[in-house]
Amino acid sequence: MEIREVGDGNAKKEICDTVLHRLSEWFGIEESIAEYVSQVEEMPFYGVYDGERPVGFLAVKIHNAFTAEVCVMGILKEYHRMGIGSELMERAEGYCQQKGLVYLTVKTLDGSVDFEPYERTRRFYEKMGFIPLEVFPLLWDEANPCLFLAKHLACSQENRG
């Protein structure tokens, strides 16, 4: 497995589209997939490759001089539990730290909805050091309350200047 920074916008969109369409347990709404695909083109983006085959990715959305978000992340199910997600998060955090950002956030489905795939997702983010900050019950819709998590990043003062 190799993680590469992807610069080409069309390649980002293709990887995002291909991976998300194979993760229907997490990304089952076509409109959401299309929105993610259109958003990633201009974002910092890391692809995971098995040889030349993309099997996962992570896209970072920069909000301001202090905060970035894991906008969307996906790894094909047959590649779960191999440490790939942790490596992607390390790359994203490193990028944010180099830019002098202080916080990395992520949104996911709240635990008030009993859905096992997202229970694993929440455990992953907690393992990565994210803490839950707030639930937004109507951000997406009533059936999908949004849990907002954040992680404080250690960054040196010289990166903030």
Q: What angle do CA 44, 47, 52 make, to 5 degrees?
A: 145
Reply yes or no on whether the pLDDT at 156 is more than 70. no
Instruction: Give residues with Cβ within 8 angstroms of 72, minimum separation 6.
Output: 16, 20, 36, 39, 40, 57, 58, 59
Residue 23 has pLDDT above 80, yes or no: yes
What are the phi and psi torsion angles at 134 (to 5°)? -165, 155
Give the domain ranges of the chain.
2-152
Query: How large is the average pLDDT for residues 152-161?
Result: 63
Query: Where is average pLDDT lowest: 15-19, 68-72, 134-138, 140-144?
Result: 140-144
Q: What is the pTM of this model?
A: 0.89
Beta bridge partners of 146: 109, 136
pLDDT averaged over every residue in the chain? 92
CATH topology for the 2-152 domain? Aminopeptidase (3.40.630)
Confidence grade of residue 50 (pLDDT, cut at 50, 70, 90):
very high
Residue-wise pLDDT for 88-97, tens only, equals: 999 999 999 9
CB-side exposure of 157: number of CA atoms within 13 Å?
0
Average pLDDT (45-68) is: 96
| Spatial distance between the Cα atoms of 1 and 54, rounded to a whole number of angstroms | 10
Q: Say if residue 141's pLDDT is above 80.
A: yes
